[in-house]
């Protein structure tokens, strides 16, 4: 099971990196709504990533998560989005590019 999760994480990371490299100036797509049905769940970061103050690479970095960090958040997991609005348990809100997390088991 762990190998499957690791392989899935590597595939997701590769897809995200190739999307960034091929179209870094694309018009950002993001969800303004966090996933209300999901509410707060525990996630694990599968790569280092910043949480930005707006859905653009030029926005200030509000916080950073490192690979393996566990955190509780309300996060829209829609795979069609480039940017996701994230609400942390401490009520901080920011934006994350791609899908740098998996649900903790």
Q: Which of 17, 25, 29 is nearest to 100 (CA)?
A: 17
Sequence-distant (6+) residues with CB within 8 A of 50 are: 61, 62, 63, 64
pLDDT of the residue at 31: 53
Q: How far apart are CA 30 and CA 71, in angstroms?
A: 21
Token pair in block for residue 17 = 């990196």
Find the range with the poorest average confidence among 7-21, 40-54, 90-104.
Answer: 7-21
Quick check: 12 pLDDT over 70? no
Q: Which of 43, 34, 41, 28 is nearest to 76 (CA)?
A: 34
- For residue range 55-89, what is the model confidence (pLDDT) as tens digits? 999 999 999 999 999 998 988 777 788 898 888 87
Token pair in block for residue 50 = 């910043």
């Amino acid at each position: 099971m762990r190998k499957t999760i690791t392989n899935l994480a590597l595939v997701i990371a590769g897809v995200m990196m190739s999307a960034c490299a091929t179209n870094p100036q694309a018009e950002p797509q993001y969800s303004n709504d966090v996933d209300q049905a999901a509410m707060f769940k525990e996630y694990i970061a599968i790569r280092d990533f910043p949480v930005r103050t707006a859905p653009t690479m030029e926005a200030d970095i509000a916080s950073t998560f490192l690979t393996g960090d566990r955190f509780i958040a309300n996060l829209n997991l829609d795979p069609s989005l480039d940017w996701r609005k994230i609400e942390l348990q401490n009520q901080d809100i920011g934006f994350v590019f791609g899908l740098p997390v998996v649900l903790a088991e």
